[in-house]
Every structure is written in structure tokens, then in C-alpha cells.
Chains A and B, each alone.
Chain A
């Protein structure tokens, strides 16, 4: 019997004006938005590839271990077409160096700050806004409308029980809404796959499947909300107005208001304090560095300019004293640097934790709106949420340790010559041997003699330089970051369960209201 009602309602719904207009609007919006978004994604993919290749090329040029300072990039995720989340607001790369520990940050200065006046645009916006309205519009008159027409009392005068009627209506609504959701996903995917650079992996497909399920759960929640209003009121016009006001509150007021409240209730750590602490640490670091420099005055030695990959120089051929100083100074400096990096990180972490706490509170407040819950689920499944970016940064941090380990093992805890110079012991000896006659001949009166001596010396130095090739970094650890769907699913489950709960709760309420509903028409 439930099926009969559901089928009748479903067929009736399919023929309504609202269904037609809503579906057409969705189709049009998806066909306009998805190509634009896909193109943007393609651009980001190209940029990412360029960055990674440039980084690789630099690594191949590395002459001394000290100069291994790569940057790691987070591959752009194709699912962000469906939900942009926090991806564009947060930095998606991390520089690996001795001094800074990777931590989440705002996008770098690359971005035009004036563009922040436009809200984000993705497929989930269409789903969030248009489908929720459509669900409310389908649901608002299922009970109160039938009462007004007088058909409700006819149905209930038969043998059928009330819960069957209500379940039938729910099923019908879900079946009807299934149609546009499915169409949107299919069209979106087809358009997405028509782009040659975009490839969908198994984990992407799993993500899309889960997003589809989440979308259905969300829309059914909005439908049951409409159903509740319909069973609470006698006139369909009133249930419509109630539903729409609820929608405005959920879609417009709550998302802005929650952030607003969170920023008021949980203010951030002061940035000035942060700056002051940072300044202090920097000064301490400088003082310690100076101490080491004074102890080993020759450690810097003659440097090449920026020839050594990642814009860094390295020590070239020089006297033994320089090399000895340096090999003692570098391990000390390295430990000072790493201490400094850690303490700066701790200071920053303190501030970032306050940002995250605020973010957390805002999200929790926003959870009173199913629309915000759905947004959370979508961005989590699309791996564009804060948690996923944190995962990337954690990986980058682990990678930094790995590199430090690697360099330390290769260079005998940063003390061997290969850490900072291309000059070998023999070269240094030779250098010393040649320096004396060179200085002697520089004292000569004859100008051409002086020039010849300088030329000879330079020639020898250059020949030493030319003998050296970049380091062999075959066993160098590579950065790998694969966003895992399992992890993001784990993060999404609470919100998904919340959506399911909203469904059950609203349906139970509407059932309770419907059992006591006065079916007599005026």
C-alpha cells in the first residue's frame, strides 16, 4: 500500500511545474559551472606540474648537502570541483628548510586580496541552495495541501494507517528528488571527464559515490523538514512560508552568524604578542649564531653566488683553516637552527591553535543548520577541508625530518666537507701550496707578471670547480602525499550521522504531528 501511494505521488510530482523548473535550473547551472570549474582545476594542475618539475630540476643541480631545500606541493584535487572547502584560502605548499617547520598558513601573497569579495563557487553550492529549496517546495503541501483539497480524508477513510500514508509520501519525495540529483551528478561527471587532463582514480570515484549518498541524505533531511511544517499547519500557504523562513535562516543567517559569533566568543591570541615573542627568539638565535661565528671566524669561507640550486651558495676552494672551522661550526649552527625552528614553530602553533579553536566553534555553532552540516560533509569528502590540508602539512613535517635524517647520515652529522663545500682535502692542500708563490708574485713590480699570476691562479681554481658535478641523490627520500579517502571518510562520518539523525528526528516529529492531525477540510 505504501508503494501505491508513493507511486501515485511520484508521478504527480514529476508533472508539476516546480519539479520541471527546478530540474531545468539545476541542469543549466551544472552545465555552466562544471566546465568553468574544471578549467580552473586544469590550470591549477598545470601550475602544480610546473612547480614540481622546477623543484626536481633544482634538486638535480644540488652540489652540497646544505643546499637541499626543496618545496613540496599538494596536488590539486579534482573533487574540489564539487566542494571548494578551505582549499583556496590555505597555502598548498611547504618549503622544507632548516629554519622553518611547515605549518598551515594563509595562501601566499600570490593572490589578489580584492578578489576576496566574491564568495566561493562550486557544485555543492548549487546542491545546497537549489536542491534544498526544491525539497522544501515539494514537501510543503504534501499533507496540508491534500487536506485543503479534501483528498486526505478520503484516503484515511480507507483501511490504510497513517504511518503508511506518511511513509509513502516520504518515499515519493525521495524518489522525485533522486531524479535531479542523479542528473546533476551524471552531467557533472560527463562534463568533467570530457577534459583530457582530468583523470579520476578509484578513490575519486569512491569520494564521488559518497558525495552522492551525502547529497541524498541532505535532501531527504530538507524534505522531512518541509514534511514537518506541512503536518504542523492546516494551510499549505502557511507551511510554505514557515519552510521558507526556516530555509533563509539555515542558508543565510546561520552560516554568517556562526562565524560572527565564534569570532566574538573566542577571540584570537594577540598578533602583537606573537610578533614580540618571535622577535625575541630571532634575537636569541642571532646572538648564538654570532657566538659560533666568533669561535670559528673563518667558517664562511669564499662563497659561490647562488650556483648551488634553490638560490643558495656554497663554499668554493679555500684554505684548510676555513674548511676546518666550517666543519666544526656547521654542526653547532645546525643544532642552533633546528632549536630556533622548533621554538618559532611552538610560538606559531600557539596562535594557530587559537585559529583552529575559533574555526571549530564556528563549525559547531553552524551545525544547527543541516545546510552547513552538508557543506562540511561535502568538503571533507572532497578532501578540501581543513583536516585534509592539515594532513598534508603533517606529511610535509615528517618529510622534513626525513630529509634532515638523510643529510645527517650522509654527512656524518653535518660535519663532513660535502655538507657545505665542493672543496676536498687535497684541493685545500693544493690551494695552500699555490697561495704562497701566488702572493709572492703579486708583490712583483711588473704589472704583466702580476696579471699572469692571477690568471694562473684563477684558471686553477676554475678547473677545480669544473671537476665537480652535482651530488648523486639517487637514494634521496621523495615526498609522497596521497589524500586518503578512508581518512576523510572517518572525519565525515560524524556529520553524516548527524544528517541521518536529522532525518530520523524530523520524520519522527512529523509522524507525531501527523498522528494527531485533523484531516477535516474546511
Chain B
């Protein structure tokens, strides 16, 4: 019996004006966004490879000796991802660049930023279309699902039969969901076809899987809105009223609550400023130099001759290493604070399903704020590896004092011989490669958000079920 209702609903929807309008709007948006994505992705990958190759060639150029590798400043950029087709995760305005040598690592920075006179805007991509437009369409399909039938007088006829109410409700739900699937799937398909035809590099199996997960997530998200629509429809007596209520709810959930994030963030935490960071760095440096004797006698002295008795090289190395550690720690702390501040607002906005859905799809595709944190961590790990590499190479050299610390390269290597000057094979040097997370790991990151979306579904379903059971069909 349910399928009867579902079929009827779908057929009715298919013939309606709203279906035609939404189909046209959504497919054209999907197509347009994909065309733009393709062009942008080509350019970004080109830029990325240019910059990365420049970094590598700089590395090769300065790689005549081991000590140069240690002090060489590498510039690493974030890699553009093909899956930003699905969700962009504000990456345009997030830091995308880190500069480091094996001792010190800077704060991630925004390089090649777009036009700052324009407002930040989210690219039109799958998640944008689904979270804003399709959620709206879901409400347009369901606002009259119960009260509209009551107004037409057909609801009581349906219920005069032996069919239980929950079956009618589920029929309405599946009818709306299946109708929504059409623009969604057609849009996704059009988008994928454009991507494949335009030949910007194949889609790997992992990416296919991730796309599949995103489509499922989108269905889960839309289903929450369908339940919401059915719920409001089964509390209202007139379809006009239910539309009004739904619209205002939609505006609050999709536009207003996500806008509150910034305010909440700045209300509950202080913005960490550069001035403060610099002050802390200076303070730490001063403290270490003032207590230089803590690292050994004469740790603060430096003379051109390594064998000068007034100098204590191992202590100086300890001092410098402590200094880099403290500085790196302060920078990391600052970075964590910035992240934490943004995350407060983000978590608050998760009162609405829209940011939850966006966050989950960001986690799945591996973009967004989580990816920025991960990128920074990966660079740091690479820095560690490189340091280990330098250390292991250094032990092979009998002439070196094996004291690896971040003081002035020429002085350390030539006057003091603290670090090996042996030539080096470029092939053997580890190179940075940004890794994507495996599907299971991304799913693990998204599991809370998926749970939240399921919870939204459950709440709206229960609400619609209860209110429909008590609905006066006359």
C-alpha cells in the first residue's frame, strides 16, 4: 500500500511546476559550477606544481652539503584537491602555505590570497547547492503534503480506508525523497560527466567511494528537511501557514544560525593577535638568553674559534635547541588558539543541520579547517623526518662534532664544524608529500556529524509521526 502512495506522490510531483523549476535550476547550477570548477582546478594545479617544483629545484640547488640541507628554508603549499568539486570548505581564505627549516617552523600563512575587497563567499559547489537550494526545494515539495491534502479533502478519503496513518506518512516521505533524488542524482551525474569529459585527471577509486559517501550524506541531510516539512505540514491547518512557518524556519536554520558563528566565537574567546604572539616569542627568547648558564657554563658565549676555552659548544647547542623548541611550541600554541576560536563558533552553528552536513562532507572529502590542521601536522612530521635524516647522515661523518642546532649556518658549519659538510645525494633526501586520509579515517572524523544528522532525522520523524497521528483530517 505504501508503494501505491509513493507512486502517486511521485507522479503528481513530476507533473508540478515546482518540480520543473527546481530541476532546471539545480541542473543548471550543477553544470555551471562544474564548468567553473574545471577551469579553476586546472589553473590551481598548474600553479601548485609550479610552486612545488620551484621549491624542489631550490632544494636541489642548495643541496651541495648536508649543513645546507639543514638550514634550507622550504616553502610548502597546500595541494588543490579534485574533490573540492563537492565541497570547498572555505579553503580559499584559509592559510595554505608554510615555511620552515629543520629547526624552526612558521605559522601557516595565506599566500596568493584572492581579492580582499570582495566579500568572502563560498564557491557554488555540490554541497552549497544541496545545503541551500535543495533543502529549500525539499520544503517546497513537502509544505502541503498533509495540510494540502486536507484542504483538497482527499486526506480523509485516504484515511477512510484500512491503511494505518504511519503508512500514509511514510508514503509521503518516500514520495518526496524519491522525487528529490531525481534533481540530485541528475545534477551529480551531469557534474561528473563534465569532469570526466574535460579530462583533468582521472578519479581514483577512493575518490569514487568518497563521492558515494557524500551522496548518501546528502540524502540523509535532505531527509531531515523532508521530515521537517512533513512535520510542519501536519501541524498546520492551512498550507499557506505551513509554508510561512517553513520558510522562516529555513531562513533561520540555513542563513541566520550559520552567520552567528563569528559573533559566538568572538564572544567566548579572545582573538589571539600577532602582537601578542611576537611579545611572547621575544619574552621566551629573552628568558632563555638571560638564564643561559642553565644549559652549561659559557653557553651564551660565541667566538670564531671552536676550541676557544671561553666557549662551550655542547651547551650552546642545548640552548639553541631549547630556544627552537620553545618558539615552535609558542607558535603551535598560537595556531591552536586560532583554531579553537574558530571551532567554538563552528560548534555553535551545529544547532542547525546545515553546518553539520557541511562539516561532515568536509571531513569526508578532506578539506576545510580540519585539513588545514592536518596539513600543518604533516609538514611538522616531515620536518621531524628531515631532522632525523640530517642527524643520521651527520653521524656518518667523522669530522663533524654532531651538534645540530639552529645557529647561523656559515658559522656553525665552517668555523665550528658542528655539522657535517659532506656532499649529499638529492635522491636520498626525503621529500614532502601531502597524504589524503583513507576513507575509514575520514569516516571516523565524520562519525559524530553523521550521528547528529541521524538525530535530526529521528527528532523530525518522531515529531511528524506524533503530530500526524493526532492530526484532525476534517
On A, residues with C-beta under 8 Å from B are 17-18, 21-22, 25, 29, 36-37, 40, 86, 89-90, 104-106, 108-121, 125-126, 129-130, 133, 137, 141, 236-238, 240-242, 244-245, 248-249, 252-253, 255-257, 259-260, 262-264, 268, 271, 355-356, 358-359, 362, 386
Contacts and interface: CB of A to CB of B under 8 A. Distances in A.
16 contacts: A17-B244, A114-B369, A115-B266, A117-B90, A129-B251, A241-B18, A241-B140, A242-B21, A244-B136, A253-B29, A262-B118, A271-B112, A356-B117, A358-B115, A359-B115, A359-B117
Contacts of B271: 110-112, 115
Interface in B336-355: 338-339, 341-342, 345-346, 349
Interface stretch (B60-68, B196-204, B256-264, B401-409): B256-264
B117 A117 contact: no
Contacts of B122: 256
By size class, the interface of chain B is: 35 or more
Interface stretch (B77-85, B158-166, B272-280): B272-280
A116 B120 contact: yes
Interface string B226-253: 0000000000001111011101100110
A356 to B, nearest CB: 7
Contact of B118 (A36, A40, A110, A359): A359
Contacts of B94: 113-114, 116-117
B258 to A, nearest CB: 7
B128 interface: yes
Interface string B264-302: 011100011111000000000000000000000000000
Given A18-B244, A29-B256, A244-B140, A89 B123 contact: no
Nearest to A257: B124
A289 B273 CA distance: 35
A171 B57 CA distance: 71
Contact of B244 (A21, A29, A104, A242): A21
Contacts of B339: 114
Nearest to B243: A240
B25 A245 contact: yes
B247 A244 contact: yes
A245 B265 contact: no
Contact of A22 (B113, B248, B345): B248
Contacts of A359: 115, 117-118
Question: Top 8 closest A-B pairs, CB basis?
Answer: A114-B342, A118-B262, A106-B116, A116-B93, A118-B261, A18-B244, A117-B90, A359-B117
B121 A260 contact: yes
B424 to A, nearest CB: 30
Interface of B: 17-18, 21-22, 25, 29, 32, 36, 39, 90, 93-95, 110, 112-124, 128, 132-133, 136, 140, 144, 238-241, 243-245, 247-248, 251-252, 255-256, 258-263, 265-267, 271-275, 338-339, 341-342, 345-346, 349, 369, 372
Contacts of B274: 108-110
- Chain A interface mostly: helix
A104 B271 CA distance: 23
A108 B274 CA distance: 9
B78 to A, nearest CB: 13
Given A141-B240, A248-B25, A249-B25, 15 more contacts: A18-B244, A36-B267, A109-B274, A111-B271, A114-B339, A114-B342, A116-B90, A117-B369, A120-B259, A125-B256, A133-B251, A241-B18, A252-B132, A256-B121, A355-B117
Contacts of B90: 116-117
